[in-house]
Amino acid sequence: MKDFLTPEEEQAVVDQIRCAEALTSGEIRVAITSRWYFRLERHAWKLFHRLEMDRTKNHNGALIVLFTRRRRFVVLGDSGIAGKIAPGYWQEITRELAELLRENRKVEALSSAIRTLGDTMARHWPPEDENPDELSNKILQE
């Protein structure tokens, strides 16, 4: 959905991704789709693989997918993240994201989730001497 975020809002989210990734070797991506899917998590995993989130060096990629027509979202993490997080971690991210999205605070919602993911990744995967950006920070909109 091209008009879910204005160009300025999209840039603010991309900037937040850059800031979060500067503190970690982890990778964060955001995808926004206006297509109708019944199995949201299944489609999110397809996007995860299509965006090569599973090919990061430390398997520490995270993807936030917004399904705008369904007013739902999915947050996924690669196997490296799953092995390091505490129970309830995904609920913490999704609770805050849901609350802010209900208030139509889209940029704040995404920024908050990105910061939380980035802070967690920074604790477990600090930036390496060379900290290349393994994946694009551009938001996928379909």
Q: Each residue of 38-57: pLDDT tens digit?
A: 999 999 999 999 999 999 98
Counting beta carbons within 10 angstroms of the beta carbon of residue 94, is it exposed (0 to 12), middle (13 to 18) or buried (19 or more)?
Answer: middle
Containing 68, the helix (H) or strand (E) segment is none
Rounded to two decimals, what is the model's pTM?
0.93
* Domains of the chain: residue spans and CATH: 7-141 (3.10.310.50)
Question: Rounded to whole angstroms, how far apart are CA atoms 23 and 102?
Answer: 29
Q: Each residue of 87-126: pLDDT tens digit?
A: 788 888 999 999 999 999 999 999 999 999 999 999 999 9
